[in-house]
Structure 1
Amino acid sequence: MTSLIEQAKQKAAYQAVDEHVLPSHKVIGVGSGSTVVHVVARLLQRDPELNARTVFIPTSFQSRGLLLDGGLNVGDVEQYPNIDVTIDGADEVDSQLNAIKGGGGAHLQEKVVAEAASKFVIVADFRKDSKILGEQWIKGVPVEVVPFAWRAVLKKLQGLGSKEAMLRMAVAKAGPVVTDNGNFLIDAPFGLIRDPAKLLTDIKLITGVVEVGLFCNMAQVAYFGCEDGSVTIRTK
């Protein structure tokens, strides 16, 4: 099964790069997660002269490392606020191309880079494809919070209906997960999310919230690698 999933991710990622990273593009945003490993691999297979003329904007420590290891030119969104296209993964995508991101804890930088792009492309495997957010991804909406406010935010999230919201704890250390930005993460399950844009607004209005892992009305297209080896493309 693992091999099948990786093959699905690779095929979707390769097709997304081939169709949306054009020779005329000068600045490319590169997201985070397991699918993006294949995005970078495909970028490295391009004409080296194209890569030499392109600046790549990472969204996390992970993607920055992948780009640097590949010898690609790395910049940041402060230097390059106008990005031609950003390709990123997702934890779940609904029928309207709304997405949950942040399972890897990088959704703040991912959202900044996605919003800076003229086109935002999602790449995922068949397990991430849903009609309604919350069908497949049941761990909850990732919410990045400033450390001193996490208890207050947690209480407010519970008041919004996420009774099982909890601070994300690290696996290999005692204590909470700390993001690349030095913040904490709360995972807030809301069941089926029928109005993700409203939920996004409600959560962002909580003082202490830095960013929410709901990406609403942002992606123009999503590529899903399927079990049978095909790629399903969804557009708005």
Structure 2
Amino acid sequence: MTDHSIEEAKRQAAIRAVEDHFSPEATYVGIGSGTTIIYVVEAIKERSTNPHIRFVPTGYQSRQVIVRAGLTPIAFDSLPEDTMLDVAFDGADEVDEELNCIKGGGACLFQEKLVAERARKFICVADYRKDQPRLLTNWPTIPIEVAPISIYTVLHSLRLLGSPNPQVRDGLLVKAGPLKTDQDFFIIDAPFPSLLTSSDVASGLGAGDGTDGKWQVETLSKEIKLITGVLEVGLFCGMDGVQAEKARNGGLGTGSGLGGQKPVAVYFGMQDGTVKVRTSTAK
């Protein structure tokens, strides 16, 4: 596939996702980071007839995309405390069969997770290369955002969890030092063996707790998050927004008290120009 064909796959996925999930009656819409999101914003611009919609970016780059489209951005911390986003659109570096995602290739994972968990539904838009049966099949590492002072502690802890060679991500100019996020934190990219899904664990393919060298997605995410110095982990797993809402209404609560991390649907632009949609109910 040529670069042009891949970009066209992204565009078609974005158009379909916006057609299905963007409403001109929305009040707040989350806008993620990455190249695919440019096409999402273009599609929203074509369909939006409501100048009062406020768009919440996940970082500097996505805010510029919103502004260039003539739409109105609002900072995440300007949202009223009890307000949910109607929908959030974002990409992913890899998506597995259960819609768990790896995100953070663009170093915006902390704000991306804030926005995803604040949305009633997170819609993921990607090209066919991101569609894999298990996480860490094609994408090599888990991005982790860490406080600069803690990097050696975190690197050591990741090795103890089974990551063979975690690395601090360099900036565009290596001589300038590590890449810095919008929070002035660093990114550690940690390789692990391909991650098990919850179905894998239920089927007896592994305990998923690292004892046999195999980790289940959500279990590993929680273990990494417990390391002192870690701000956020680039694994988007657990509940999706619809499941989180049901839990809240049932009085069960969620870890964030708001929405879920996983998308309710993923739109993959395919090589042949079609769009493949996978939902949280798909097998």
TM-score by length of 2: 0.81
Specify the SS of the correspondent of 1:78.
helix
Runs of at least 5 residues in structure 2 that lack an aligned partner in the other structure: 197-215, 239-261
1:211 correspondence with 2:210: no
Aligned positions, number: 233
- Give 1:136 deviation, angstroms: 1.4
Specify the SS of the correspondent of 2:277.
strand
Structure 1 residues 89-126: Cα deviation after superposition (integer angstroms, max 9, x where no partner): 00000000000000000000000001000000000000
Map 1:1-236 → 2, pairs under 5 A: 1-47=2-48, 49-50=49-50, 52-80=51-79, 81-138=83-140, 140-174=141-175, 175-194=177-196, 195-217=216-238, 218-236=262-280
Counterpart Cα distance in 1 of 2:266 and 2:16 = 11
Is the Cα contact below 8 Å between 2:24 and 2:47 reproduced in 1? no
- Give 1:79 deviation, angstroms: 2.2
Specify the SS of the correspondent of 1:96.
coil
Counterpart Cα distance in 2 of 1:16 and 1:193 = 27
Letter in 1 for 2:228: T
Question: Alignment identity in percent?
Answer: 44
- Give 1:173 deviation, angstroms: 4.8
Aligned to 2:213: none
Counterpart Cα distance in 1 of 2:138 and 2:12 = 21
Structure 1 residues 67-87: Cα deviation after superposition (integer angstroms, max 9, x where no partner): 111221111222224100000
Is the Cα contact below 8 Å between 2:13 and 2:125 reproduced in 1? yes
Letter in 2 for 1:38: Y
Greater CA radius of gyration, 1 or 2? 2
Runs of at least 5 residues in structure 1 that lack an aligned partner in the other structure: none
Counterpart Cα distance in 1 of 2:59 and 2:42 = 17
| Superposition RMSD in Å | 0.9
Is the Cα contact below 8 Å between 2:87 and 2:122 reproduced in 1? yes
